[in-house]
Amino acid sequence: MREYGKKAFVTKEMAEEIAKTYPTPFHIYDEKGIRENAMALREAFAWNRGYKEFFAVKATPNPYLIDILRDFGCGCDCSSLTELMLGEAMGMKGEDIMFSANDTPAEEFAYAAKLGATINLDDYTHIDFLEKTIGYIPKTISCRYNPGGYFSISNSIMDTPKDAKYGFTTEQLFEGFRVLKEKGVENFGIHAFLASNTVTNEYYPALARTLFEVAVRLKEETGAHIAFINLSGGIGIPYKPDQEPNDIRVIGEGVRKVYEEILTPAGMGDVAIYTELGRFMMGPYGHLVTRVIHEKHTHKEYIGVDACAANLMRPAMYGAYHHITVLGKEDAPCDHLYDVTGSLCENNDKFAIDRMLPQIEIGDYLVIHDTGAHGFSMGYNYNGRLWSAELLLKEDGKVQLIRRAQTPRDYFATFDGMDIFDKFKFE
């Protein structure tokens, strides 16, 4: 088994130093890694004149981090009112905001339209719903496509779009374009998200082929002007140390080949490529740093840490693997079998089950890897557990607080103004 490795970007000494100011647990993000990766993405798609990445805000809704991506020309992909508000607060212009929601409330369409965001419709019936809500159909609009069936690459099934709630069927897409064109749409976009967390360089090129082929037919059959094709998210990261990372340059080149094979000959060489990557942009550049507070020897060997699923839900929710490094013991043999657990009164609150790790002692700092996307943002307050702080490890080595930890006061804030609230004294 080849090991690509998983090296933490913080050391034991750094963790100890940081914890003096910001107690564990905390999420910390690596500015240098984020920048290098965003640069590589931009270069990989530099062949396409209109290329733009709209960062999927839901992955890591922190304006300090999104601001780093803006240096590389990224906009944001929002799917809710507060995500739109975040983009607006950051001064994003309409063309920098993609609104890709589903089961969308009327007020969110209205808000997106007010900001001038590009609206990506999830369903045929939303054409009517949008028009009734805002009183017009924008000149530029996008439709989300779901071809159904299975999405396969090289004979292996990657995902099952037929079971996904998103998008228009092929028939609805053609009819939708006709209807939208009649309503005055001048620039069309096509969007699809057909497989998640793909760790292969073949996903985007295969998705691009599906979308480019349908785009040519849509142009020919409806006369629509297709301005952009949105490959959305889905480029994954190697959560496990034996997984080979994606090579974004190979992916960009793969999409270019399909573009030149299908779109250019069809007279569509001006179509802009958009992406809405979340995980790929941030995932590897976040760590959840937590300290060991207990060890328990019963039917299994347990290591109890001060973080829990409220700080990182993926293992509990999907059984997802997150690599763990015991800081200061990077080179020690992994000769102990542990379950690493949080404190929730839920038996699925485990960051690792039957994991071989170096011998762990109380007080050790653990890095839980790849928490930069769908990590903090999926946090919740079950058991009254509070959200941790988010920190940014700057390129110059300094650490910046980019979101403070929640306090009991925050937790109880939604009782504000109610008589029972008077009984709590927080100050």
Ligand X SMILES: *Cc1c(COP(=O)(O)O)cnc(C)c1O
Q: Is 193 in the site for ligand X (CB under 6 A)?
A: yes
Which residue's CB is nearer to ligand X, number 15 or number 121?
Answer: 121
Q: Which stretch binds ligand X (CB under 6 A): 32-40, 278-286, 316-324, 405-413?
A: 278-286
245 Cβ neighbours under 8 A, 6+ residues apart: 4, 199, 237, 238
Q: Which stretch binds ligand X (CB under 6 A): 45-53, 173-181, 192-200, 292-300?
A: 192-200
Q: 């109880």: which residue's tokens?
A: 412
Which residue's CB is nearer to ligand X, number 102 or number 169?
Answer: 102
Active site residues: 345
Which residue's CB is nearer to ligand X, number 165 or number 423?
Answer: 165
Q: ∠ CA(144), CA(149), CA(153), 5° rounding?
A: 90
Closest CA to 99 of 120, 126, 82, 75: 120
Q: Rounded to an integer, what distance in angstroms lies between the CA atom of residue 74 and that of residue 325?
A: 32
Distance of closest approach, residue 229 Cβ to ligand X, in angstroms:
14
Q: Which stretch binds ligand X (CB under 6 A): 64-72, 190-198, 204-212, 349-357?
A: 190-198
Among 61, 147, 238, 278, binds ligand X (CB under 6 A): 278
Among 37, 60, 100, 325, binds ligand X (CB under 6 A): 100
Q: Is 279 in the site for ligand X (CB under 6 A)?
A: yes
Among 60, 142, 222, 232, binds ligand X (CB under 6 A): 232
Q: ∠ CA(273), CA(276), CA(278), 5° rounding?
A: 145
Among 83, 96, 276, 390, binds ligand X (CB under 6 A): 276
Q: Is 375 in the site for ligand X (CB under 6 A)?
A: no
Distance of closest approach, residue 100 Cβ to ligand X, in angstroms:
4
Contacting positions for ligand X (CB under 6 A): 56, 58-59, 77, 79, 100, 193, 196-197, 232-234, 276-280, 373
